[in-house]
Amino acid sequence: MAAISKQILYKNILKHLKTNPYGLSSTDLARNLNINRMTLVKYLNIMQANGLIEYRNIGMAKVWHITSKYDLINSILRGESAPIQAIIAGQHIKIRNEMGDMIPLSLFRVIKAALSLSKNPSKTQYEAGQLVAKNSIYVNQDLNAESAIKTLARVFIGLRLGIILPLQVSPSFWVLKLNESATSHGTGVKGNSLCHFEAGVISGIISKSLGINAVVKETKCIGTNHHHCEFAVKFTKK
Ligand SMILES: [Zn+2]
């Protein structure tokens, strides 16, 4: 495949995955892009190796989604060829250490206020996260669990907080995985669970979506030497 069509293919794959933050199977992607699935898989694997996309297994299918390398992904979507040339050349791409330019100012302000005013920073960050979620125009009420998780994934992408994936969903208990948490990923800070704000956002979105009280606790964190963060969600009556 010529270099130029490779670039267009990379771009189109990212475009499709970006508009489907919950993910697409390689079969769906091949159909949407109208290309051979075996050819597609070759490029998906290269993009995965470069940290642009990743997958989870659902039954026999691999469901692909973008990672939170937003700046890199956006520069590819804008048509800049340098990042793709780097990928083709096999150069190392740095893990992100910025939020990027689309993060709402209100989000920064609420975190800053929470940190400076609080005697109990973890609780205050959690509550700030709940507040952000409850005021989000993207969260609708009366949704089922599946829709609530899709909303959660979309809001996390929109706020650039990381990539949310459900590991376990039962009527009374959920486990959610968070990849590349905005709070902990790449910070090098170790020793504690760090993502109280993210836990609060999860709590707020689920509580608002389902109209029940969701209590969220971080059970694994990059800050406690795990590769990703994990959150346990329990439900109590309001
Ligand atoms: Zn964490």
Q: Which letter does DSSP use for residue 51 in this model?
A: T
Tell whether 100 is covered by a domain. no
CA of 193 to the centre of ligand 1 (A): 6
pLDDT at 2: 59
Query: What is the residue-level pLDDT of the chain in tens, covering all 238 positions?
Result: 555 577 788 889 999 998 887 789 999 999 999 999 999 998 998 888 888 888 888 888 889 988 877 777 877 777 777 777 777 666 655 544 445 455 665 666 666 666 666 678 788 889 888 988 887 767 777 678 888 898 898 888 877 888 999 999 998 899 999 998 888 877 777 778 889 999 999 999 999 889 889 999 999 999 899 989 999 999 986 5
CA of 55 to the centre of ligand 1 (A): 20
CA of 179 to the centre of ligand 1 (A): 9
Same domain, 83 and 129: no
* Residue appearing with tokens 């973890």: 122
Class of residue 2 by CB neighbours under 10 A (exposed 0-12, middle 13-18, buried 19+): exposed
Three-state secondary structure call for residue 91? coil
Tell whether 204 is covered by a domain. yes
Same domain, 180 and 220: yes
Residue 71: give its domain's CATH number: 1.10.10.10
CA of 58 to the centre of ligand 1 (A): 24
Ramachandran assignment for 24, one of left (phi > 0), alpha (psi -120 to 50 degrees), beta (any other):
beta
CB 235 within 8 A of CB 172: yes
Q: Domain count of the chain?
A: 2
CA of 176 to the centre of ligand 1 (A): 12
CA of 7 to the centre of ligand 1 (A): 34
pLDDT at 95: 46
Same domain, 199 and 230: yes
CA of 213 to the centre of ligand 1 (A): 22
Tell whether 99 is covered by a domain. no
Nearest alpha-carbon partner for 128 in 201, 186, 213, 66: 201
pLDDT at 35: 92
Residue 234 vs residues 23, 82, 169, 215: alpha-carbon distances, Å: 25, 45, 11, 5
Residues 6+ apart with CB under 8 A from 8: none
What residue numbers bound the domain in which 139 lies?
105-236
CA of 79 to the centre of ligand 1 (A): 33
Euclidean distance between CA atoms 165 and 49, whole angstroms = 19
* Residue appearing with tokens 């970006």: 18
CA of 121 to the centre of ligand 1 (A): 15
CA of 174 to the centre of ligand 1 (A): 17
CA of 164 to the centre of ligand 1 (A): 12
Which tokens hold the place of 180?
């590349």
Same domain, 191 and 138: yes
Same domain, 136 and 219: yes
Same domain, 183 and 216: yes
Tell whether 121 is covered by a domain. yes
Cα dihedral value 126, 130, 136, 141, nearest 10: 150
Same domain, 127 and 153: yes
Same domain, 132 and 59: no
Residue after which a domain boundary falls, among 88, 116, 143: 88
Three-state secondary structure call for residue 86? helix
Cα dihedral value 199, 205, 211, 212, nearest 10: -10
Same domain, 70 and 153: no
Euclidean distance between CA atoms 182 and 198, whole angstroms = 8
Tell whether 118 is covered by a domain. yes
Tell whether 95 is covered by a domain. no
CB 112 within 8 A of CB 106: no
Same domain, 118 and 84: no
Euclidean distance between CA atoms 24 and 6, whole angstroms = 20
